[in-house]
Amino acid sequence: MANKQLFQTMQGAFVPAAVDKNREGAPAYKYSPKHLLAQYAVTGCLNNTFYASGEYQLAKVLELSKELDAEFIAKTAVYARESASMKDMPALLLAVLSTKSPEYLRRVFDRVVDNGRMLRNFVQILRSGAVGRKSLGSAPKELVKRWLSSANDRRLIEAAVGSDPSLADIVRMVHPKPNDRVREAFYGWLLGKPYALEALPQKLQEYVVYKFDRSHAFPDVPFQMLTALGLKRDEWAMVARRGNWHMVRMNLNTFARHGVFEIDGMAQVVADKLRDPEAIEKARVLPYQLLAAYRAAGPDIPNEVREALQDAMELALLNIGKFAGRVVVCPDVSGSMSTPATGLRKGASSAVRCIDVAGLVAAAVVRANRNAIVMPFENVVRSIVLNTRDSVMTNAEKLAAIGGGGTNCSAPLRSLNARNVQADLVIFVSDNQSWADARNSGATEMMRHWAAFKARNSEAKLVCIDIQPHGTSQALERADVLNVGGFSDEVFNVVNAFAAGKLSAGHWTAKIEEVLI
The string of DSSP letters for 162-191 reads --SS-HHHHHHHH-PPPSSHHHHHHHHHHH
Beta bridge partners of 48: 344
How many structural domains compose the chain?
Answer: 2
Domain assignment present for residue 207? The answer is yes
Element (H, E) at 249: helix 245-250
Residue 10 has pLDDT above 80, yes or no: no
Domain assignment present for residue 66? The answer is no
| Residues 129 and 207 reside in one and the same domain | yes
| Residues 400 and 469 reside in one and the same domain | yes
User: Nearest-CA neighbor of 375 among 391, 359, 390?
Assistant: 359
Distance CA 431, CA 472 (A): 9
Residue 269 has pLDDT above 60, yes or no: yes
Which pLDDT score, from 0 to 100, does residue 46 have?
A: 65
Which pLDDT score, from 0 to 100, does residue 468 have?
A: 82
Which pLDDT score, from 0 to 100, does residue 453 have?
A: 97
| Residues 336 and 483 reside in one and the same domain | yes
Which pLDDT score, from 0 to 100, does residue 486 have?
A: 82
Which pLDDT score, from 0 to 100, does residue 400 have?
A: 87
Residue 378 has pLDDT above 60, yes or no: yes
Chain segment 200-241, per-residue pLDDT in tens: 999 999 999 999 998 999 999 998 998 888 899 999 999 999
Domain assignment present for residue 8? The answer is no
| Residues 347 and 491 reside in one and the same domain | yes
Picking from 203, 221, 239, the residue at the C-terminal end of a domain is 221
| Residues 387 and 499 reside in one and the same domain | yes
Q: What 3-state DSSP class applies to 78?
A: helix
> Phi-psi region for residue 83, left (φ > 0), alpha (ψ -120 to 50) or beta?
alpha
Which pLDDT score, from 0 to 100, does residue 103 have?
A: 97
Q: What is the CATH number of the domain that holds 355?
A: 3.40.50.410
Domain assignment present for residue 475? The answer is yes
Complete DSSP assignment for 390-433 = S-HHHHHHHHHTS--S---TTHHHHHHHHTT---SEEEEEE---
pLDDT band at 5 (very low <50, low <70, confident <90, very high): very low
Chain segment 19-53, per-residue pLDDT in tens: 899 888 999 999 999 999 999 888 876 655 554 57
| Residues 24 and 113 reside in one and the same domain | no
| Residues 472 and 341 reside in one and the same domain | yes
Which pLDDT score, from 0 to 100, does residue 347 have?
A: 55
Residue 77 has pLDDT above 50, yes or no: yes
The range of the structural domain enclosing residue 148 comes to 86-221
Picking from 193, 221, 249, the residue at the C-terminal end of a domain is 221
Mean pLDDT of 372-387: 93
Picking from 197, 221, 245, the residue at the C-terminal end of a domain is 221
Domain assignment present for residue 241? The answer is no
| Residues 120 and 216 reside in one and the same domain | yes
Chain-centroid distance, C-alpha 513: 20
Residue 416 has pLDDT above 90, yes or no: yes
Distance CA 358, CA 442 (A): 29
| Residues 410 and 478 reside in one and the same domain | yes
Domain assignment present for residue 233? The answer is no
| Residues 107 and 24 reside in one and the same domain | no
Which pLDDT score, from 0 to 100, does residue 12 have?
A: 44
Domain assignment present for residue 144? The answer is yes
The count of other CB atoms within 10 Å of the CB of residue 140 is 25
Domain assignment present for residue 309? The answer is no
pLDDT band at 7 (very low <50, low <70, confident <90, very high): very low
Helix ranges (DSSP H) in 101-159:
102-112, 116-127, 138-150, 153-159
| Residues 24 and 105 reside in one and the same domain | no
pLDDT band at 273 (very low <50, low <70, confident <90, very high): very high
Residue 187 has pLDDT above 60, yes or no: yes
| Residues 323 and 209 reside in one and the same domain | no
